[in-house]
Structure 1
Amino acid sequence: MSVAGQTRPRARDLGIAPGTFEPGPLNAITDVEPVRVGHSTIVEGDDVRTGVTAILPHGG
């Protein structure tokens, strides 16, 4: 169990490197060509808060 205010180390900080590629400059999925990421959020009144994220692995 973690104590409030403490943060857990990231896997790479512990020497664990998931996957076969090195991280990109932003360490983000958008570093990978030709991956595209889009997001849309809908806010209506006080009751509606919803959104969607789309990850497109290639242009075709």
Structure 2
Amino acid sequence: MVGSVDVAAALALLLGALPVIVTLRHPSRLADRVHAVSYVLLLVTVTMTTVLAALR
């Protein structure tokens, strides 16, 4: 820990994000409808996970 920052966690997040950053550097060729549907599915997944975690 450096101050209130967990350096190992910060490095893990950075290393996990680098491939995504490189991949998304190029413009997306997916249709807007695909993006919209995936976003809604992601929101539903996160909501369900949060509710299930709260009930546990």
**What TM-score bracket applies, with the shorter chain setting the length?**
under 0.3
Task: Report the TM-score, using the length of structure 2 for normalisation.
Answer: 0.28
**Which structure carries more relative contact order (alpha carbon 8 Å, separation 6+)?**
1
TM-score (norm 1): 0.27
Q: Which is richer in strand? A: 1
Rg larger in structure: 1
Task: Give the structure with the larger helix fraction.
Answer: 2
